[in-house]
Chains A and B, each alone.
Chain A
Amino acid sequence: MADPTTRSAAEQESPKPENGHIADASADPPASAPTMMALRSTDPSAAESITTDQLTIAGRTLRSRLLLGTGGFPSLELLAESIRASGSELVTVALRRVDPAARGSLIDVLEREGVELLPNTAGCFTARDAVLTAKLAREAFATDWIKLEVIGDEDTLLPDAPELLKAAELLVDDGFVVLPYTTDDPVLARRLVDVGCAAVMPLGAPIGSGMGIRNPYNISLIREAVDVPVVLDAGVGTASDATLAMELGCDAVMVASAVSRAQDPVAMAAAMCHAVAAGRLARGAGRIPRRTYATASSPQAGVADFS
């Protein structure tokens, strides 16, 4: 938790959001969010100061709040350039059968870029397969971290909640640091944390759909429901989606297709980097409430009379 003295006066005075206004991402920023006062007290440059606003998951500290998927990039060169442009320090990989014909050097690329590797269980439809895949990933990459995906439907690729929860419990018991890809259901998110997950990764919309955050209220509710990092995963289509996720209180955003399938992946990777930083700052700054009618920003007094 941040030093409370670094919180701004405006933040301390801001009321709790009323029901129905939660998704405004208005008041009640997390104590760890950067405020202008915090920024001034450390460094006049917001860009500099945001780098001191670190994300911690299961004891591992990350300077970037953007997680990048490696899927869908047309080439390893574009992947490497996009990693650099994104500033991401944690990237996901899938585990697949060795292809003797096209043995890429994905691991070499990731090592060269100095990023941590987060294996996933993409393609698993049962808890059993996901647990086995996680154990294989641990052998392959010497990491206890696993992005747990248990999919229930080939068309939507939506999580299978009962299988996901079962797999999460088994993997936590086996010593894994589990980051589950989950629905935007606050109750399921809490259940996942109850069994020991180190973070939750709710979807904004189906994987690869680029539909953004379909239910921002639920993402806000998840942020309130759990005390582990919330990483928005899936659905991001463009930079503003990532910013909204952070404004809603997410601790980080994961993107894959939005970058890898953009017309210019490297430019989109840079856009996502800025989008996440902007949303984080805005969350900490505390947005103004939405109003139906105008509130003049110029003084009412002293208006000239031209009649």
Chain B
Amino acid sequence: MIYLNGNPHDDGGEQTVAGLLRVLDLEPDARGVAVAVDGEVVPRADWSTVAIPVGARVEVLTAMQGG
């Protein structure tokens, strides 16, 4: 279990950032997407290797109209 964008999310056990993005229907090469795990940026190059720990707070962000 992790916290995905503020909500509890059952990720079926530990998985990578890339795996989580697939669950969200986001392609691994998705443009305009950034990920932070527990307040740290996960560089795009590390998405397929960085495992998300249980209970982590994951933020998946993208471009929205603003400013």
Contacts and interface: CB of A to CB of B under 8 A. Distances in A.
B43 A139 contact: yes
Interface in A134-160: 135-137, 139-141, 147, 149
B66 A69 contact: yes
Contacts of B24: 98, 100
Given A100-B25, A132-B41, A139-B44, A93 B63 contact: yes
Contacts of B36: 132, 136
Interface string B52-67: 0000000111111111
A117 B62 CA distance: 13
B44 A119 contact: no
Interface in B1-34: 5-6, 24-26, 31-34
A120 interface: yes
A72 B66 CA distance: 7
A96 B67 contact: no
A96 B31 contact: no
A94 B43 contact: no
A100 B25 CA distance: 8
Contacts of A122: 66-67
Which 5 A-B residue pairs are closest in the complex by CB-CB distance? A94-B66, A92-B67, A140-B34, A136-B34, A96-B64
20 contacts: A69-B66, A70-B67, A95-B64, A96-B66, A100-B24, A103-B62, A104-B65, A106-B63, A106-B64, A106-B65, A107-B32, A122-B66, A132-B41, A136-B35, A137-B34, A139-B41, A140-B33, A140-B63, A147-B67, A256-B67
